[in-house]
Amino acid sequence: MDTSPAIPGFDTFGLSPAILKAIQDQGYETPTPIQAACIKELLAGNDVLGQAQTGTGKTAAFALPLLSNLKLGASDPQILILAPTRELALQVAEACQSYAKHMGGFHVLPIYGGQSIGLQLRQLKRGAQVIVGTPGRVIDHMKRGTLKLGGLQSLVLDEADEMLKMGFIDEIEWIFEQAPAERQVALFSATMPDAIRKVAKKYLQKPVEIKIKSKSETVTAIDQVHYVVTRHHKMDAMTRILEVEEFDGMIVFVRTKLATVEVADKLEAHGFAAEALNGDMNQDMRERTIDRLKKGKLDIVVATDVAARGLDVQRISHVVNFDIPNDPESYVHRIGRTGRAGRKGKALLFVQPREQRLLKTIERTIRQPIPAMQLPTAGDLSEHRIDRFVQTLRDTLAEQDLDYYYGLVSRMEQEQEMSIKDIATALTYLGQKNRPFIVKEVTPSRDKRGESRGQKERGSYQGESKPRDRSAKKPRGSKKSDVPMETYQLQVGSVHGVSPREVVGALANEAGLDGALIGRIEIAEQHTLVDLPEGMPGDVFKHLQRVYVCNQPLRLKKYRTEASQQDKPKSGKPVKEKKKREKKPKQKKAKPVAE
């Protein structure tokens, strides 16, 4: 069905008074197209198959009507919302809590891998009308008997295509099979691959199809450029661009939560008003950061894709892809944050030399080239600083009362025997001392091995932290990759019921690592070997020690490379370590012994 341009207000749908009051508290005025199309259908009890991108308001589109239909007297789960990642599950749970804040006796519970199972068991025992969880942990509780779906009214699949990419399709079908036959289903996906269509056809009953116009059809209105930049030059490139580019509000997209903090801190150190926005922030912190951006107290937000979902700030004039997204659709979602309400928008993309293939894929997706631009040179920066200084002088002369200062300069000229030119020169130097007009080109110095010093700085954990090592192993059975790998051992194996899917899910969620960069996985009886990109930051390594999979702590550690060929398990069975033969002294050579 097509959405109508004339969108009614929230008060015309028949939402409950408590939900309407919460909407008013949050300042919502007009529903987005996906909300206008979905709310009335879900309130009527229809199944919905929605195709809309991230940032279109999908959470409110399903949460508002389903919460309106809740029976608060019962404590058993009535709504189950499946999300692909921990961050999204937390975000959806927080949104449901804010929408239902005027509903007495309401409880929502997020359940996901990595959190204490004991804590979740206690919370489930107390009861919750809404459960928001990742598929693996939801199934874990269902098999334990601690999560029962007998009273389920509605089942929601959020970001279904992302769950498909992460290999959750079997888990989704299993959950559907266990859920009551009479239940309402809402399935949302940015794209509709055949596997998602198959699930919809099998489990949805006469669904109303709602498709919101793809942003890829409107990205032509956004001015897009790309810069070819090596990883260790990204921050220098960023600060140069920010100095010469006129912008209002800006979002800088990076791949990991760690990178949001690192990049925001470096921008602040360069004098820009910047803050991080990531999945570790609670809803209050997130809302405070967004409010500061809206009010102009903050100019730059450094965010991950998940943390920026639902972010709509009209003063955002620029989007910077500090890290190129692996998925072309993510690029479309990101740059759609600018150019809102008919305003001009600009999108900047940093591309490393080895990422040209990703750039071409994005260009094919948006059906237009993204022009290459040269970074501002030292001369460009010098001219820009001089122009700004001259403009500041002109504005000061035109707007300020300078009579006292004219007299002061005349007095200095006479009493101190200084010329007007000398005074102006000295004052110009002092005024620009911290941002000199003469800018030197920075050429990265190299050590004897030809490695740029900048490469030694710790970066985001995406397999780029070290230069390529020819001896690095590539994951078996995977596509060729330029990312050097190293092997880690996890203290969880087949005896604990672990599968490759759970290993990938835990590492992708907890380490902020793209699942495509997780290499060979070999599961033995008591442990698992997995190839990961080299250069894991210490804080990520430390965090993974405490992550649980199948109720077992990962206790991640580096696998001993010198024993890699002898100790690696074959056919899922661990191989016993062979003892090394001791070398005997040369003066006592042993003679061969006849067998």
Q: Which two tokens stand for residue 530?
A: 């997995």
Tell me the average pLDDT across 180-184.
Answer: 92
DSSP 18: H
Q: Once rounded to an integer, what is the mean pLDDT over residues 575-592?
A: 47
Q: What is the average per-residue pLDDT within 401-430? A: 85
Same domain, 118 and 184: yes
pLDDT class for 68, splitting at 50, 70, 90? very high
User: 502 or 77: which carries more pLDDT confidence?
Assistant: 77
Residue 200 pLDDT > 70, yes or no?
yes
Q: Are residues 338 and 476 in the same domain?
A: no
Sign of CA dihedral 94, 96, 102, 105: negative
CATH number at 127 reads 3.40.50.300
325 has pLDDT over 50: yes
Domain assignment present for residue 225? The answer is yes
- Can you list the alpha helix ranges (DSSP code H) found in 512-582? 538-544, 564-567
**DSSP for 380-411, written as a single string:** HHHHHHHHHHHHHHHHHHHHS--HHHHHHHHH
Looking at residue 461, its pLDDT comes to 52
Q: How many beta carbons lie within 10 A of that of residue 473, not counting itself?
A: 15
pLDDT of residue 245: 85
pLDDT of residue 482: 62
Angle of the 135-144 helix axis to the 500-511 helix axis, nearest 10: 120
Question: Could you give the C-alpha distances from 511 to 57, 201, 260, 285, 540, in angstroms and in order?
Answer: 27, 35, 14, 22, 6
Asked which of 46-50, 53-57, 343-347 is least confident by mean pLDDT, the reply is 53-57
The predicted-structure confidence for 350-402, as pLDDT tens digits, reads as follows: 999 888 888 988 888 788 899 999 888 777 767 767 777 788 788 888 888 88
Both 185 and 51 in one domain: the answer is yes
- Write down which residue in 377, 393, 411 finishes a domain: 377
What predicted TM-score, i.e. pTM, was given to this entire model? 0.47
Asked if residues 14 and 43 have their Cβ atoms less than 8 Å apart, the reply is: yes
Local confidence band at 575 (pLDDT 50, 70, 90 cut-offs): very low
Residues 6 or more apart whose Cβ sits within 8 Å of residue 263: 235, 238, 252, 254, 274, 276, 302, 322
Judge whether residue 227 has pLDDT over 90. yes
Which of 186-190, 282-286, 412-416, 512-516 is least confident? 512-516
C-alpha distances (whole Å) from 289 to each of 276, 298, 469, 553 are: 8, 8, 41, 34
Count CB-CB contacts under 10 A for residue 248: 14
Residues in the chain: 595
- Given a contact cutoff of 8 angstroms between Cβ atoms, the answer to whether 130 and 522 are in contact is no
Domain membership of residue 444 (yes or no) is: no
Domain holding 208, by residue range, is: 10-213
Of 6-10, 108-112, 471-475, the least confident? 471-475
Least-confidence region, from 6-20, 338-352, 358-372, 437-451: 437-451
Q: Are residues 404 and 498 in the same domain?
A: no
Report yes or no on 148 lying in a domain.
yes
Residue 118 predicted with pLDDT over 90: no
Residue 261 located in a structural domain = yes
pLDDT digits (tens, 9 = 90+) for 96-108: 999 999 998 899 9
pLDDT at position 485, please?
85
CA distance 235 to 229: 10
Contacts of 313 (CB under 8 A, 6+ apart): 249, 290, 293, 294, 337, 340
One domain for residues 235 and 384: no
134 close to 175: Cβ distance less than 8 angstroms? no
Confidence of residue 264 (pLDDT cuts 50, 70, 90): very high
DSSP H helices, 179-323, are 194-203, 234-244, 257-269, 283-294
**Strands (DSSP E) found in 6-107:** 48-51, 79-82
Nearest CA among 15, 72, 16, 71 for reference residue 38: 15
Residue 219 binned pLDDT confidence (cut-offs 50, 70, 90): low
> Average pLDDT in the 416-432 region?
83
Quote the tokens at residue 84: 């692909």
Mean pLDDT of the chain: 79
Answer yes or no: is 5 within a domain: no
Q: Tell me what pLDDT residue 172 has.
A: 92
Q: How confident is the model at residue 512 (pLDDT cuts 50, 70, 90)?
A: low
Q: Region 228-243: what's the mean pLDDT?
A: 88
323 and 245 assigned to the same domain = yes
Distance CA 186, CA 61 (A): 10
Q: Is 186 contained in some domain?
A: yes
* pLDDT reported for residue 478: 43
**Is the domain of 120 the same as that of 232?**
no
Whether residue 371 is found in the same domain as residue 260: yes
**CATH at 500:** 3.30.70.330
Residues 154 and 234 in one domain: no
Structure tokens given for 49: 């198959």
> Is there a domain that residue 576 lies in?
no
Taking the C-alpha atoms of residue 498 and residue 14, their distance in angstroms, rounded to an integer, is: 46
Checking DSSP bridges between strand 485-490 and strand 528-533, what pairing results, if any?
A: antiparallel
260 with 346, same domain: the answer is: yes
359 neighbors 237 (Cβ within 8 angstroms)? no
Instruction: Judge whether residue 285 has pLDDT over 90.
Output: no
Q: What is the rounded distance in angstroms from the CA atom of residue 308 to the CA atom of residue 239?
A: 22
d(CA 118, CA 547): 14
| Structure token digits, residue 125 | 């025992």
User: Is 388 in the same domain as 352?
Assistant: no
Same domain, 346 and 394: no
Number of domains the chain contains: 4
Residue 16 confidence (pLDDT):
94
The total of other beta-carbon atoms located within 10 Å of residue 273's CB is: 14
Q: Is residue 587 part of a domain?
A: no
